[in-house]
Structures are given as structure tokens and as C-alpha cells.
Amino acid sequence: MQVIVNDLMQQNYIYERTEAEGQNFSESFRPELTPIQMLEMGVFEGHYMTDCQSEFPVCWFKKAKMSLVPNIECNYFGVKSRQPLSVWRQKGWIIGPDVRGWFQWYCRYYSGRRLPEIDDIQIRRWRSFRRHKAQIEQNCLPMDTKCRLKQRQALLQWAYNPMF
């Protein structure tokens, strides 16, 4: 299926969805949460995908915590846990056609787009983020979800289950 993207940050970007939604992931990529679960729990201060929802299924946004302006109360843990997009650009973390960053890549990957070179880079980045989960495991009691809230929110925003 061909997708044509026209939103505030990207105009006339066209890509193909070659896989079924949520299927045929790389063996090295096993996210613990779907984009739907992430949006429902509360990520990116509710402001991440306010102008690009038409690119994805309507059901993704039925229970999503959304806000027209960044609002940390929309985040699951009620804390800010992200850098501004300008920092991502400055550090070279915006890769390929995914101008909004990793989560946009994940949403497109989950929905069936495959770009092997970019996918490999983003999957390596996702795998390296696992270190935050290890830090929580080493420094918090099991199920103490009030311990290291910023790291837990960050894990959630990288498709790791922060509730352990």
C-alpha cells in the first residue's frame, strides 16, 4: 500500500507498506509495546503526532492521550523525559525520512514500511536504549514504579515496558 504524507513537517513524502501491520519484524527487534499502547499510556507530552494522524489508522488515536500543546500531564509518569527536536537534529539523531525521530520511524515500521539500512540503524539505537532498563533493575526495588520516573518515561517512549 502506498502512503503519501503531507503534514506540517513533511510534504509529499511517499512510501510503501510492504508488510502487514505489526508483523514480520527483524529478529533483533522485539518491542515490548505497540504504538497504540504507547499513545494510550501517554508519551511525548501528548503533542507528538497532533498533525500527522491521517498517516496511521484511526484506531491508534481513539484512547491516545493527546494535547495541542506539550503537556507533561499527558505523560504516563507525569514527568518530562525528552529532548526538543532541535537537540535531536543537532546531535544527528534524525535519520532518513523520519523527520520527527525514532517514534515516527517505529510507527512507520510497525505499520509495514521497510527501509533496510535505516531500519538497521534505528533497531541498533532501540537495542542500546535497553541500558536504561538495566539501570532501573539495578537501582530500584521490583515493581517500585515511583523509582526513576524519567527513565521509566523514556523507556515507554522507546517501546519498552516501564512497569517491572
pLDDT 10s digits, 32-59: 999 999 999 999 999 988 899 999 999 9
98, three cell numbers? 523520519
User: What pTM was estimated for this model as a whole?
Assistant: 0.94
* Whether the predicted pLDDT of 88 surpasses 90: no
Q: How many CB atoms lie within 10 A of CB 157?
A: 25
Look at residue 89 in the predicted model and tell me its pLDDT.
86
Look at residue 12 in the predicted model and tell me its pLDDT.
97
- For 12-43, the three-class secondary structure string (H helix, E strand, C coil) is EEEEEECCCCCCCCCCCCCCCCCHHHHHHHCC
Alpha helices by DSSP H, listed for the chain, are 35-41, 85-90, 102-110, 116-128, 130-139, 149-156
> Which sequence spans correspond to the domains of the chain?
2-156
